[in-house]
Amino acid sequence: MTQTHHSRPLSPHLQIYRPQISSVLSIMHRITGLILSAGSALLVAWLWAAAYNGSYFECWQQFFTSTLGCILLIGWSAAFYYHLGNGIRHLFWDMGRGFDLKNLTRSGLAVLAFAATATAITWWCILCPEAGA
């Protein structure tokens, strides 16, 4: 089989494109899905330990109350709220709404604001329970 050379340009690589809010949020949606999967595996391990092995449960409790554990829990909750907000955004897209550039940008910023606010409120309620009483 002979190979023919065409003078047409190749498709540009991702490094050629300037990141746009829609592309960045799409990548973040995929990354948060992976983070949520990893967090779910740890949740299953924690629940198994709570049900079947008190010493393992105590180890998990110590891990989740450590600095690293708290950072991971905050990250997982932020990933959850972002993935939830962006999933709702996708539901509107499935109905054919919000595809114009103005609404695309607004809804993306709204998802980011929702994720940040919901994460902050969640952790404020967890870390300062007496304030909510």
Q: Domains along the chain?
A: 22-126 (1.20.1300.10)
Cα 22 to its chain centre, rounded Å, is: 15
Span 28-57, average pLDDT: 95
Q: For the chain, give the percent of residues with pLDDT over 70.
A: 86
How far is it, in rounded angstroms, from Cα 39 to Cα 74?
A: 11
**Cβ partners under 8 Å of residue 45, min gap 6:** 60
Per-residue b/e over 23-50, b at no fewer than 16 CB within 10 Å? eebeebbeebeebbeebeebeeebeebe
Report yes or no on whether pTM surpasses 0.95.
no
Report the pLDDT value the prediction gives residue 128, as an integer from 0 to 100: 87
pLDDT averaged over every residue in the chain: 89
How far is it, in rounded angstroms, from Cα 5 to Cα 132?
A: 70
The predicted-structure confidence for 67-100, as pLDDT tens digits, reads as follows: 999 999 999 999 999 999 999 999 999 999 988 8
How far is it, in rounded angstroms, from Cα 65 to Cα 74?
A: 12
| Among candidate residues 83, 81, 68, the one with its CA nearest the CA of residue 31 | 83
How far is it, in rounded angstroms, from Cα 92 to Cα 105?
A: 14
Q: Which residue has the higher pLDDT, 128 or 87?
A: 87
